[in-house]
Amino acid sequence: MRKWVVLSFSVKNYLRTVWSSFLILFMIAYGMAVGNPWIQFGGLFLVLGIQMVYQIYKGVKSGPMMEANIRDATRAKRSKVLQYVSEQDVQSAKISGGSSGQMSQMTRMVVSLMIPLGIFFGTNYLINYFWPGTPHWQSYVVGFLLSMPVSAVFMAKSGLPVGAPQVTPQSYLVTERGIIFSQMGRSLILKFPLRKAEKGKDANTIEVEGLKESDMIPYKLKLYTDKPDELLRLLNSRVKADS
């Protein structure tokens, strides 16, 4: 039952992530089918415009929650400190774990982009080679539909976040109230209790997921530490019992 819930959650995250790509696909393919370039390019800019407006709407709507979270982080700094990991500690954990941190994640992201592109163009080539005369928009749709699931599976297997973005703090503070970290010059807090805490795929990392407050407030963290077992025990004692 739990595996089914996890699978369902992953599918929902995947669809939430790629809905705009599928909409752009539909507009471009339809424009190619009817020979109307205005629909192709107009659909692209329409979807991107809708996304931009939606992001602005989310930012405005989440403003009060963001300000409240910043105030909670300031108050939490005055509570009991359970563990402090400085920027130097994070760099030391990355080096001792044999990871370049941000660079290794960037490499995986590039690979996750190149693989679906290879499948997309390869599918178009094979269709045109074995079935010459196939309308280009049809091979375009088939290539896209084959490449997107492969991209999602690769991202999941490689540890890249699918859906909600994962933040890797350069330093952080674990207090009785939650994990305090900085983003774009602002101190935020991932409040206790947590939804889950587990060892990450990268060495010397703990991946943490809290309860979601807002779309604009990160609730997934990857924490580097030279003492992963100690930090995991500490955070597991703050995981919600029924999660």
The DSSP bridge pattern shows strands 205-210 and 194-199 to be antiparallel
The DSSP bridge pattern shows strands 172-175 and 178-183 to be antiparallel
Distance of CA 142 to the CA centre of its chain: 26
| CA nearest neighbour of 117 among 155, 144, 149 | 144
Domain assignment present for residue 24? The answer is: yes
Domain assignment present for residue 221? The answer is: yes
181: three-class secondary structure by DSSP = strand
Same domain, 93 and 124: no
| Domain that includes residue 110, residue range | 2-35+102-157
Give pLDDT, residue 73.
Answer: 96
Number of domains in the chain: 2
- Residue 121 pairs in a beta bridge with none
Tokens of 36: 């109307």
Same domain, 150 and 186: no
Share of the chain residues as helix, strand and coil, in percent rounded to the nearest 5? 60, 15, 25
Domain assignment present for residue 61? The answer is: no
Give pLDDT, residue 12.
Answer: 62
pLDDT 10s digit of each residue in the chain, 243 long? Answer: 444 444 444 556 666 666 777 777 788 788 888 888 888 778 778 877 887 888 788 878 888 999 999 999 999 999 999 999 999 999 999 888 776 545 556 676 677 678 777 888 888 889 988 998 888 888 888 888 888 777 767 666 655 555 567 899 999 999 999 999 998 889 999 999 999 999 988 889 999 999 988 878 899 999 999 999 999 999 999 998 764
Domain assignment present for residue 241? The answer is: no
Same domain, 87 and 111: no
Give pLDDT, residue 14.
Answer: 61
Give pLDDT, residue 160.
Answer: 54
- The 10 Å CB-count burial string (b at 16+, else e) for 150-168 is ebbebbeeebbbbbeebbb
pTM (predicted TM-score): 0.66
Measure the CA angle with vertex 235, ends 231 and 236; round to 5°: 115
End-to-end CA distance of the chain: 14
Same domain, 90 and 184: yes
| CA nearest neighbour of 48 among 16, 20, 18, 15 | 20
Contact 108, 157 (CB under 8 A): no
DSSP 45: H
CA distance 97 to 100: 9
Considering Cα of 26, then 27, then 32, then 33, what sign does the dihedral take? positive
DSSP 61: H
Same domain, 184 and 139: no
